[in-house]
Amino acid sequence: MLKVKKNIMLQGTSSHVGKTVLTAALLRCLVDRGFKCAPFKAQNMALNSAVSSDGGEIGRAQAFQAEAAGIPSSVHMNPVLLKPTGEARSQVIIQGRVHSVMSAAEYHKFKPKAMEFVLESYRALSSVYDVIVIEGAGSPAEINLREGDIANMGIAEAVDSPVLLVGDIDRGGVFASLVGTLELLSESERARVKGFIINKFRGDKTLLMPGLDFLEERTGKKVFGVVPHFSGLVLPDEDSVGLENNGSCTSGRLKVSVIKLPRISNYTDFDPLKADPGLSVVFAESPSEIEGSALVIIPGTKSTIEDLLWLHEKGLAAAIQKHAAQGASVFGICGGFQILGKKVSDPFGVESGVAEAQGLGLLDVETVLNKEKSTFQVSGTAGFGKREFDVKGYEIHMGESIASCAPFAAINERNGEGVSVSDGGASADGRVCGTYIHGIFDNDGFRNALFESLGARALPKSSFSEAREASLSELARLFEESVEMEEVLRAIGL
């Protein structure tokens, strides 16, 4: 068993019960008490990823949790990242770098080796931080996944971590799911569970008390708190769940349509747009949904060619071309930028079995998908017309694009080193642009000026960074009010 300083783990009765957000909340609460803390998720399966401060690829959730903890992100915070590629296979990323593409069966055999990397990363974090807050994945009670588990009780036992079990009452059946999860654990695993957190509660807590009393009497475990359902905070969605009900936010006057690609990735790129009260953001799946848009955005994708073919099949390719021909604006990010070009080639079968596809032809760009992935944190300048702004973001892409049109941005720093690199492309009139920079809309000056030029009201100008920080503070306040923090500290051993 690995000996460390202090730790605690949040596991859930299922996916999407709110572990990611509650982990961030607990980290912020501990930091506010003066502890030096770090997040950790041994294995994450997600298409939402980020580039860590040390230049590797990790789950976007762990980058957000590092932000909550006020520390630089690291590949060690998410040593195993699985990115589904289709046909029951996933790209396996180990400590920030692509290892291989595996089927479920192949990955199952690889788990013992993966655990070595997981523990190596855990040691690296525990040598620096006072408290490690670990997030589980899915449910610890999945019978078919118990053997060789590295995501839930497997890592909890390896690092001797106490566990809080989180249930989502908004889904219904929270008491059955909490009790049932405990029943399916081994005796030693049940002993590791110190208690429960019930998440996303709506209504009068006094009406819940009989259920809480039953839960404690039945299990002998304490209910550490009941966290209320909340809305209006600028926090990233858990992977894919934010798009289950389309994900649109239609309160503003200026319409922005984001194409909801089947293999969409890094859709947190659009959190700043959804948070802007002047914008009406629609995730579009049909040509009719982009009508009347001031801006159409093609997002990142895990499979550029496959999603490009889907655009043609759905009639969206023609609709976007018509939109641009009428003088309206189109923007592409990463795979979306590649789609805007003339051609995308995949000679090594990196993303699919289709070797080549014709792009939308809106930018004079051709892309070749390579075997090696580029991952950078970047800074530089970008703009439109004669206006130029400092921007920061990150790149995650397999492709290399050759542009014969004007660049979109000039990158002057990658992973902390000075460079001079042109990024993306722009049409002669500046109405069609593409970039490899994820997080481009996080940059307040660029974003506000862009949408002002498209017709958004000039005031008030929104600050995404300020809204995110205010939301993290409010999240921590809600957690403090709802959860018995002294009991949590006792469980951790602080």
Q: Tell the residue number behind the tokens 């009393």, with chain if given.
A: 213
Task: Enumerate the β-bridge partners of residue 366.
Answer: 343, 402
Euclidean distance between CA atoms 494 and 487, whole angstroms:
10
Catalytic (active-site) positions? 334, 438
Residue tagged 């809600």 (tokens): 478
Q: From start to end of 304-423, where are the E strands?
A: 329-333, 343-345, 356-358, 365-384, 387-403, 409-414, 417-423
In angstroms, what CA-CA distances link 366 with 301, 358, 396? 17, 9, 18
The Cα 393–Cα 414 span in angstroms is 10
How far CA 440 is from CA of 229, 262, 299, 333, 406, in Å, comes to: 30, 22, 12, 9, 18
For residue 246, give every residue at least 6 positions away whose Cβ sits within 8 Å of its Cβ, in sequence order, or none.
260, 282, 283
Handedness of CA 268, 269, 271, 274 (dihedral sign): negative
Reading the block at residue 360, the tokens are 């939308």
Tokens of 16: 């999407």
